[in-house]
Amino acid sequence: MRMERTLITDLPNHIEHSVKIAGWINTRRDQGKMVFFDIRDASGTVQGVVLPKSAAFEAAKEIRSEFVVSIEGVVNKRPENNINHNVQNGDIELEIQAIQILSIAIDLPFEREAEVNLDTYLDHLPYTLRKGKAQEIFKLQATIIEAFRGSLRNQRFIEFQAPELVGTDAEGGAAAFEVKYYYDKKAYLATSPQFYKQIMVGVFERAFTTTKAFRGEKHSTTRHMSEYATLDFEMGFIEDHRDVMATLETCIRHVIAEVTKKHTDTFKLLGAELPLLPESIPIFKLQEVQEILETKLGMKALGEPDLEPEHERQICQWAKKEYNSDFVFVTHYPVSKRPFYVFEDEQNPGFTKSFDLLFRGLEITTGGQRIHDYDVLVDKIVKKGLVPENFSFYLQAFKAGMPPHGGCATGLERITARMLNLPNIKEVTLFPRDLNRIDILLSDTDDEDKNN
Amino acid sequence: MRMERTLITDLPNHIEHSVKIAGWINTRRDQGKMVFFDIRDASGTVQGVVLPKSAAFEAAKEIRSEFVVSIEGVVNKRPENNINHNVQNGDIELEIQAIQILSIAIDLPFEREAEVNLDTYLDHLPYTLRKGKAQEIFKLQATIIEAFRGSLRNQRFIEFQAPELVGTDAEGGAAAFEVKYYYDKKAYLATSPQFYKQIMVGVFERAFTTTKAFRGEKHSTTRHMSEYATLDFEMGFIEDHRDVMATLETCIRHVIAEVTKKHTDTFKLLGAELPLLPESIPIFKLQEVQEILETKLGMKALGEPDLEPEHERQICQWAKKEYNSDFVFVTHYPVSKRPFYVFEDEQNPGFTKSFDLLFRGLEITTGGQRIHDYDVLVDKIVKKGLVPENFSFYLQAFKAGMPPHGGCATGLERITARMLNLPNIKEVTLFPRDLNRIDILLSDTDDEDKNN
């Protein structure tokens, strides 16, 4: 009878019994005639030992780090003086009776847990993603996205699939990548699901999507990529942008509760602190932020249409001290800096009912109330120098009656990066794409011969 | 004090109280001096009445179908002889005291619930998606995708973000769309997350993603689109493809349980039956299916490398009768018909440890065991006439030690279509893209002047 695989984390339930485990060899240590292996699977690690008399002794000879193996053995309690309290399963040991090599590891560029620079890390992602730290980062990211979705579902939102191929780069400016579509027609990659989520307000009232956005700006920074994951929602029947902010705050609170529950070890491993989130996130108008920057922090800021990255860092540090919050809402960006569909504040002409959410110095969310009146919207399109005809599909939603609505977009990689205090967005993106790289450096693919 | 909005579904809890609701006008009926409105929000519908003496009488005059309104009124029980047992809230009526028009509807092309042909439906999606039937289809689709994810999480899978911009059309054949990347370099749209999910087996053992795939084949059928949503998972330490099939079957069972729990009304509305899923889905080798087709169903099929669409329909009808199952697994497709990374069956040389899952006559899933040995994989790449160098990034995973693994890809639109017995995939895709259409017909965008 074939023995079922036991997960390494479950071994303590099998003391003095035979088990089969499967996984990767972390390390091999030869000690006299005995061979010790640290073995890992997705659930954890355990030490195994091959004794000289073991039938597995021959097979063990050729096994090195990263070999994939299936092992049968007996789970033994360790004697008191051999217990290692600092590692998982430090009080047991697997006495190995048989080893089967499932796959050999060849040509490893460096040790799995080696600290390498970012370029080397990115060059070898299929291997470097196996580092403990990388595994933890992306498990936490999976928790973030699911907690975000879960909170929205709890708040009556329905998920939808936003299209990523779009017909025109109607808004311009955002540098959409061009796609060679059928019969040499042009299509574009979506720079955001904005128009579609607004259309979905007419269908579901509250709609969300977790999708990709593509931006072709020639940024080479620690916070930009050409493809990124965006958590987008849009909701109808709002009073103003503050309803959107309240919904987002509920999501953020749930995300933090979930990562706190499941990933405190990850925070420890990465030396990051759990985010500070007071009873309510402080809210300032852009102009108020600029006044604080000038009067309290001695920076030049007033009169600018937007915040510089350094402004965002400074106001967040200040808010952390003053409000015990790692988050700050900034509202009322000027009309000139926001897209045509953003709602102008009747009480503050020239400024919009828009907001950014800053988290530990970085903008992670942009949102606001949208225009819902057809005539006003067409007028704004024209005023931005755009052509209403190019928006005919989108505008149908407004001809059919749209409630007051708003929404926002949160960058998954950005929230992950700030959550774990990692400086570069590329460390929190499994397979980052930028100016120079799609998996491998792009200069490497210049040679046409290699592409056919 | 501002009155809070009450959802229409909650009105029965507010009999004889004042409430505020908000939503769309479904219909208007004038009866003598009284005006009746059917009002809908995301939660349901209710009838409201404006009495001649009402302060809302003037405002009500101009209100027509699809106007977006906010209404204050009193919830009254209807007298026994006015109760309508066939509609939601048929035993109550809202006596309207004030109406505020939030947004007017202009230029509706036809009545919201009108039956229109597919092209007209697609031309007016921002409006036609508001039909009751469309709303129900896409709510059910949201349940399918979340149930799929939930089942995989329960089976120890971790979600990951697959990239959609890729560097090469390495596999060829699948007709990848070309993207104009930075500095006129070429990139491509992913035809599947295959390579990345295999890489993630090395990281998480079990990984899944819900992402988009893009295919540029010039198909014009009821089951192909250029962009579609794919539910992909991949798992390590399997015995063979049957472990993948068992995992998929668990997912499918959970999906059906969830849609049964939440959407029986949708099935009724669409005249569809709940799927038949016996204790285990019947499994046949391709050759066995062909023998059944020939001997029992009188079709030509033996010796072909694949099943024709009509074969898939016939074998499903047969299995429904014989096994009481709307699902059939077909395994062992020939090596020639499968990609290079599919595992050849040692017991059946020339045939692969691969499978399709057919659902009510349509292939909704393709999967199988993959090759995990580096040397075998490189050999297969060469044998398919491809260039191993183009796969250098992917191959790193195999150099670093890969366990035996396998996985599959399920089309979200296809499973939705068969679930509800809808003939055309475009009816279950919010914003379908095909040869001729991205939102609007592509011929309409030929004019360069309109694109700037």
Q: Which two tokens stand for residue B81?
A: 């002889």
Q: What pLDDT score was predicted for residue B449?
A: 39
Q: What's B344's DSSP letter?
A: B
Domain check: are B38 and B134 in the same one?
no
Asked if residue B388 belongs to a domain, the reply is yes
Contact B282, B323 (CB under 8 A): yes
Q: What pLDDT score was predicted for residue B1?
A: 52
Contacts of A4 in chain B (CB under 8 A): none
**Pick from B106, B396, B403: which is nearest to A68 by CB?**
B403
Q: What is the CATH number of the domain that holds B297?
A: 3.30.930.10
Contacts of A412 in chain B (CB under 8 A): 161
Domain check: are A247 and A330 in the same one?
yes
Asked if residue B109 belongs to a domain, the reply is no
Alpha carbon of B21: minimum distance to chain A alpha carbons (Å)? 10
Asked if residue B111 belongs to a domain, the reply is no
CA distance A274 to A252: 13
Res B174 pLDDT > 80: no
Asked if residue A229 belongs to a domain, the reply is yes
Asked if residue B451 belongs to a domain, the reply is no
Domain check: are B152 and B31 in the same one?
no
Q: What pLDDT score was predicted for residue B37?
A: 98
Q: How many A-B residue pairs are in contact by the CB < 8 A criterion?
A: 291
Q: Does A103 touch chain B (CB under 8 A)?
A: yes
- In order of A243, A359, B2, B360, the CA distances from A282 in angstroms are 15, 12, 24, 54
Domain check: are A244 and A371 in the same one?
yes
Q: What pLDDT score was predicted for residue B27?
A: 95
Contact A145, A210 (CB under 8 A): yes
Domain check: are B17 and B155 in the same one?
no
Contacts of A178 in chain B (CB under 8 A): 179-180
Q: What pLDDT score was predicted for residue B424?
A: 93
Map residue B245 onto helix, strand or coil: helix
- Name B46's bridge partners: B39
Domain check: are A227 and A366 in the same one?
yes
Q: Does A393 touch chain B (CB under 8 A)?
A: yes
Looking at residue B314, its amino acid is: Q
Give average pLDDT by consecutive 10-residue segment, chain A, 452 residues.
89 97 97 96 97 92 96 96 94 97 94 95 98 97 98 98 92 83 93 97 98 90 90 98 98 98 97 97 98 95 93 98 98 95 96 98 98 97 94 97 98 98 96 95 55 34
Domain check: are B395 and B246 in the same one?
yes
Alpha carbon of B323: minimum distance to chain A alpha carbons (Å)? 30
Q: What pLDDT score was predicted for residue B450?
A: 37
Contacts of B154 in chain A (CB under 8 A): none
Q: What pLDDT score was predicted for residue A89?
A: 96
8 Å CB contact of B202 and A130: yes
Q: What pLDDT score was predicted for residue B447?
A: 43
Domain count, chain A: 2
User: What length does chain B have?
Assistant: 452
Q: Single out the residue of B436, B430, B448, B105 nearest to residue A390, CA to CA.
A: B448
8 Å CB contact of B404 and A429: no
Taking CA atoms, what residue in A is nearest to B217? A182
Res B122 pLDDT > 70: yes
Q: Which two tokens stand for residue B381?
A: 């790449």
- In order of B338, B365, B428, the CA distances from B356 in angstroms are 11, 5, 21
Domain check: are A28 and A148 in the same one?
no
Residue B131 falls in which region: left (phi positive, over 0), alpha (psi -120 to 50) or beta: beta
Q: What pLDDT score was predicted for residue A173?
A: 65
The ipTM is: 0.95
8 Å CB contact of B390 and A451: yes
Domain check: are B48 and B149 in the same one?
no
Q: Single out the residue of A407, A385, A382, A408 nearest to residue A395, CA to CA.
A: A382
Q: What is the CATH number of the domain that holds B22?
A: 2.40.50.140
Looking at residue A197, its amino acid is: K
- In order of A271, A273, A417, A440, B63, the CA distances from A263 in angstroms are 12, 11, 15, 31, 54
Note the pTM of the prediction, 2 decimals. 0.96
Q: Does A203 touch chain B (CB under 8 A)?
A: yes
8 Å CB contact of A450 and B390: yes
Residue where a domain stops, chosen among B103, B132, B160: B103
Q: Single out the residue of B328, B330, B334 nearest to residue B361, CA to CA.
A: B328
Domain check: are A176 and A316 in the same one?
yes
Taking CA atoms, what residue in A is nearest to B435? A182
Alpha carbon of A310: minimum distance to chain B alpha carbons (Å)? 28
**Pick from B68, B218, B227: which is nearest to A165 by CB?**
B227
Half-sphere exposure of B348 (CA within 13 A, CB side): 14
Map residue A444 onto helix, strand or coil: helix
CA distance A358 to A306: 13
Asked if residue A452 belongs to a domain, the reply is no
Q: How confident is the model at residue B446 (pLDDT cuts 50, 70, 90)?
A: very low
Domain check: are B169 and B246 in the same one?
yes
Taking CA atoms, what residue in B is nearest to A430? B161
Domain check: are B325 and B242 in the same one?
yes
Residue B41 has φ and ψ, to the nearest 5°, of -130, -170
Identify the residue whose tokens are 């979930």. A258
Contacts of A161 in chain B (CB under 8 A): 141, 145, 229, 412, 429-430
Calculate Rg over the CA atoms of chain B. Answer: 27
Q: What pLDDT score was predicted for residue A1?
A: 52
Map residue A160 onto helix, strand or coil: coil
Residue where a domain stops, chosen among B103, B130, B162: B103
Map residue B21 onto helix, strand or coil: strand
Q: Single out the residue of B317, B422, B331, B322 nearest to residue B361, CA to CA.
A: B317
Asked if residue A110 belongs to a domain, the reply is no
Asked if residue B154 belongs to a domain, the reply is yes
pLDDT digits (tens, 9 = 90+) for B257-296: 999 999 999 999 999 999 999 999 999 999 999 999 999 9
Q: Tell how many helices (H) and how many strands (E) occur in chain A.
A: 11, 18
Chosen from A111, A161, A343 to mutate, greatest number of chain B CBs within 10 A: A161
Beta strands in A281-404 (DSSP E): 283-285, 327-331, 354-359, 362-370
**Pick from B24, B142, B227: which is nearest to A160 by CB?**
B142
8 Å CB contact of B212 and A212: yes
pLDDT digits (tens, 9 = 90+) for B177-224: 999 999 889 999 999 999 999 999 999 999 999 999 999 988 778 878
Domain housing B230: 122-436
Average pLDDT (B100-106) is: 96
Residues 6+ apart with CB under 8 A from B314: B293, B297, B299
Do the bridges between strand A437-438 and strand A440-441 make them parallel or antiparallel, or are there none, so unpaired?
Answer: antiparallel
